[in-house]
Structure 1
Amino acid sequence: MEMCEDKVYMKLAIEEAKKAERLGEVPIGAIVVYKGEVIARAHNLRETEQSAVAHAELLAIEEACKKLNTWRLEEAVLYVTLEPCAMCSGAIILSRIQKVVYGATDPKGGCAGTFMNLLQDNRFNHQSEVVQGILADECGTLLTDFFRQLRDKRKALKKLAMEE
């Protein structure tokens, strides 16, 4: 039952990732679920906002805190299409999110079990349950396709510039 529920919520995070992609952003989406209700949705906005901290997870956490009028999200679950980075993992720890469910792993920067595991490090005062690999292929394909198109576009522009 829980796996099925995780897939339903991950599909909502994927919808958010697709919104980011339509804006030319890296397609990462996140949602926060509290007591069975989606209370926050966000997608990556780093380029749009020209902000290094406009990650989907941080924006979703901020929205959830405002909605609940507290910084403690102890009964909340964060769904995100890509494994959280160090910065986002820090925010997850500080906001005391109970559980993190992510799709694609990030071997170069994932801090929820791949590169390192900040979310379950018992040196912190809070640890989150971590579930990985939910709709991983779909989440990973979004990212792979985005970066392939970006590289192709850059190659085409470079070729065009050389022809002039």
Structure 2
Amino acid sequence: MEFSRDEQMMALALQEAKIAAQLGETPVGAILTWDDEVLVTTHNLRETERMATAHAELLAIEQACRKLGGWRLHRAVLYVTLEPCPMCAGAIINARIPRVVFGASDRKAGCCGGLVDLFAVPFNHIPQITGGVLEAEAQQLLTDFFTELRKKPRPRRKLRDFMPPQK
């Protein structure tokens, strides 16, 4: 069976998502191409970095901007295994990414139609969206991850756990 270009890139994004899962991260991977060449491969790092904004899409955009020396990603395609959330959708708009391809829909936070469609709002930039590419594989990865996560005890942390020691 021959894969389309979108499927090939999504397969790479799924490999990144598997790396994220091995790190205890929500398994979301992203690939950003520039002129049809892979420029960035990355995955979620929220837990590792202890940073709410360390989503795969934002990390890909940030790395691409640094590599290219500019913020306009007008020749990029962003491939991501999970439908972008509001924060990532905003970054996609601001980076002027012309096309986004995602795997699994996100009915809780998806902004490409899963929950809402932010790209239906007449912003100054509207990317073309293709969803459902290797969707079953992307969804299964998420389902397996969260099934295992629910089996683990969740420690309750208090604010003092995050504070520096008193002198």
TM-score past 0.5 threshold: yes
Paired amino acid for 1:54: A
Once the two structures are superposed, residues 22-47 of structure 1 have per-residue CA deviations (whole angstroms, 9 ceiling, x without a partner) of 10000000010111100011100000
Contact kept? 1:120, 1:129, Cα under 8 Å: no
- Inter-partner Cα distance in structure 2 for 1:114 and 1:50: 26
Contact kept? 1:120, 1:128, Cα under 8 Å: no
- 1:153 deviates by 2.3
Question: Which residue number corresponds to residue 152 of structure 1?
Answer: 151
Question: Which residue number corresponds to residue 162 of structure 1?
Answer: none
Question: Which residue number corresponds to residue 124 of structure 2?
Answer: 125
Q: Does 1:114 align with 2:129?
A: no
Matches within 5 A, 1:4-153: 4-122=4-122, 124-153=123-152
Runs of 4+ in 1 over 6 A off after TM superposition: none
Contact kept? 1:75, 1:98, Cα under 8 Å: yes
- 1:67 deviates by 1.2
| 3-state DSSP of counterpart to 1:32 | strand
Paired amino acid for 2:143: T
Paired amino acid for 2:101: V
Paired amino acid for 1:112: C
- 1:145 deviates by 0.2
Unaligned runs of 5+ in 1: 158-164
- 1:120 deviates by 3.7
Once the two structures are superposed, residues 55-114 of structure 1 have per-residue CA deviations (whole angstroms, 9 ceiling, x without a partner) of 000000001111111100011100000000000000000000010000000001100111
- 1:135 deviates by 0.2
- Inter-partner Cα distance in structure 2 for 1:40 and 1:120: 27
Provide the TM-score with structure 2 as the length reference. Answer: 0.88
| 3-state DSSP of counterpart to 1:65 | helix
How many aligned residue pairs are there?
153
| 3-state DSSP of counterpart to 1:100 | strand
Same amino acid, percent of matched pairs: 55
- Inter-partner Cα distance in structure 2 for 1:131 and 1:110: 13
Contact kept? 1:103, 1:136, Cα under 8 Å: yes
| 3-state DSSP of counterpart to 1:154 | coil
Question: What RMSD over aligned residues (CA atoms) do the two structures have, in Å?
Answer: 1.4
